[in-house]
Amino acid sequence: MSEWALGGCTSLKTINIPENLTTLSRAVFYNSGLEEITIPATVRQMVEGCLSTSTLKKVYMYIEDITKISYTESCFGSVNNTSLYVPLGSKIVYQEYYPWMSFNEIIESEEITASIETERFKNNFSLILSKTTETISSEDKNDIEVALATYYSLSEMAQAQLLPEKEHLDSLKQKIDEIISRIDYVAFDSDEKVSIFTLSGQKVQNVQKGHIYIINGKKVLNK
């Protein structure tokens, strides 16, 4: 948003800054009617007078370390009656710096932290999915590596209740079905007098359902 974009807009009461915005420009909300604002972790710069308005009641900051961004001491107006909500564990840092220390109260929010952790997990999961897709398409990987990669990726998806794009999901399912069809399906008792090894050759005493083992020289999926 450009300088003074919403300055003087008294009808504006609440706004969630979009995550693709990295800068709050000079006087962008100056003397507006803004009462509540949510500032995402993607914001890296807060310029002079960007939130200089006397109507502000609540500020939700998703930035965990305020020392990592650029801001001016005059980015806010009077905040004597304004509440600042921050991630868990970050209150002590906000209290050390102006203008944050001037807020009426600084409250650590579990909701903000939960949202940050969820987004962080989704980002990490995207990386996992990307690596799994690379594994599937690589001719250098053997069946076991691909089977394990797809198995664990699908498990992570189920636990997180996340779904990748349909084409990726179909690819994962198809590949793992092809591989599993070439593995012996058996359910075995860990008390049986047989030697059981992991795929890396380590002998195991206790087996887990859904895992692949080596028994009598064969790859076996324990149902």
- The pTM for the full model equals 0.61
| Residue 113 predicted with pLDDT over 50 | yes
* 50 and 66 co-located in one domain: yes
Q: How far apart, in whole angstroms, are the C-alpha atoms of residue 219 and residue 197?
A: 10
Average pLDDT over residues 67-82: 95
The number of distinct structural domains making up the chain is 3
Q: CA of 76: how far to CAs of 38, 60, 198, in Å?
A: 14, 14, 60
Which CATH number characterizes residue 39's domain? 3.40.50.12480
Domain encompassing residue 30: 14-103
* 119 and 176 co-located in one domain: yes
Q: Among residues 59, 82, 103, which one ends one of the domains?
A: 103
Q: What is the DSSP letter of 203?
A: B
* 46 and 88 co-located in one domain: yes
Q: How far apart, in whole angstroms, are the C-alpha atoms of residue 82 and residue 190?
A: 62
For the chain, count helices (H), then strands (E).
4, 12
Residue 4 pLDDT level (bands cut at 50, 70, 90): very high
Looking at the domain assignment, is residue 201 inside a domain?
Answer: yes
Please, which residues have CB within 8 angstroms of residue 111's CB and are 6 or more apart in sequence? none
| Residue 138 predicted with pLDDT over 50 | yes
Assign 201 to helix, strand or coil. Answer: coil
Looking at the domain assignment, is residue 221 inside a domain?
Answer: yes
Residue 204 pLDDT level (bands cut at 50, 70, 90): confident
Amino acid identity for residue 17 in this structure: I
* 60 and 74 co-located in one domain: yes
Average pLDDT over residues 165-182: 60
Looking at the domain assignment, is residue 218 inside a domain?
Answer: yes
Residue 190 pLDDT level (bands cut at 50, 70, 90): very low
* 132 and 158 co-located in one domain: yes
* 82 and 27 co-located in one domain: yes
What is the pLDDT at residue 185? 44
What is the pLDDT at residue 187? 46
Looking at the domain assignment, is residue 3 inside a domain?
Answer: no
* 121 and 170 co-located in one domain: yes
Looking at the domain assignment, is residue 4 inside a domain?
Answer: no
Tell me: cis bond preceding 99? Omega within 30 of 0 counts. Answer: yes
What is the pLDDT at residue 186? 45
